[in-house]
């Protein structure tokens, strides 16, 4: 159990480090079998979306797009993950990102909050920022998928109770799909973590895609 706590805390650190992308190449060309107007998806988060020490094509949004298209869904995902972002950072840049897109997204994947917890910021502040992000998406008629996180054990029970409740509460409030704990596939399988014992490998990203694709599919299908 101790190893679980240590690894969980270490994995949460991945959300605050620099992206360190191995390259900025575009993702591999997905299967072109789906036809018609694609469903546009915005992946809006921190380094768990941006990726760390991996080619851009191996990041979660790019791998998720490939997996969804392999299932026959005509989906295009724009990766707007920024390493180190807190919920406040996301709230501040959301409108700029949306206004800069040439095509309005149909769905937004929201993955923020781990850095707030890591820096010991108030769960109430994180809740308010995520609430504002989801409210703006709703105002623009963009469906949301909320990617949940859990507080590290060293934050204490009271903090964890407040922080962990943010995601299911807001998902219910805004009728958003919920991925309960985004990094859960990595917790018990250290082969899915890079040598630094912090960041997911390319296989780790694929494991996170496999664990979350059904939720995302419900939102985009």
Catalytic positions: 47, 196, 199
Place of tokens 């859990």: 150
Strand, coil or helix: 105: coil
Instruction: Record the tokens describing residue 126, joined without a space.
Output: 């994180």
Burial class (CB in 10 A: 0-12, 13-18, 19+), 1: exposed
Using the CB atoms, write b or e for 21-44: b if 16+ within 10 Å. beeeeebeebeeebeeebbbbbbb
| Strand ranges across the sheet with 39-45 | 75-81, 39-45, 107-111, 143-147, 177-179
Distance CA 119, CA 96 (A): 25
Contact present, 110 and 182 (Cβ < 8 Å): no
Distance CA 49, CA 121 (A): 21
Contact present, 110 and 147 (Cβ < 8 Å): yes
């Amino acid at each position: 159990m101790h190893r679980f706590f240590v690894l969980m805390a270490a994995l949460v650190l991945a959300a605050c480090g620099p992206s360190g992308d191995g390259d900025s190449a575009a993702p591999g060309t997905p299967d072109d079998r789906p036809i018609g107007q694609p469903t546009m998806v915005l992946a809006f988060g921190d380094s768990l979306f941006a990726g760390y020490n991996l080619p851009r094509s191996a990041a979660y949004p790019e791998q998720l797009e490939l997996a969804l298209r392999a299932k026959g869904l005509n989906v295009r995902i724009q990766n707007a993950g920024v390493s180190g972002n807190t919920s406040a950072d996301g709230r501040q840049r959301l409108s700029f990102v949306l206004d800069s897109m040439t095509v309005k997204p149909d769905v937004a994947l929201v993955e923020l909050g781990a850095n707030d917890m890591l820096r010991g910021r108030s769960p109430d502040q994180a809740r308010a920022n995520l609430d504002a992000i989801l409210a703006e998406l709703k105002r623009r008629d963009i469906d949301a998928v909320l990617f949940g996180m859990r507080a590290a054990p060293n934050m204490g029970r009271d903090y964890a109770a407040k922080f962990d409740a943010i995601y299911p509460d807001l998902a219910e409030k805004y009728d958003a799909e919920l991925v309960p704990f985004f990094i859960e596939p990595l917790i018990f399988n250290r082969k899915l973590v890079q040598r630094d014992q912090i960041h997911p490998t390319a296989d780790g990203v694929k494991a996170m895609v496999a664990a979350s694709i059904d939720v995302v599919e419900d939102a985009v299908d």
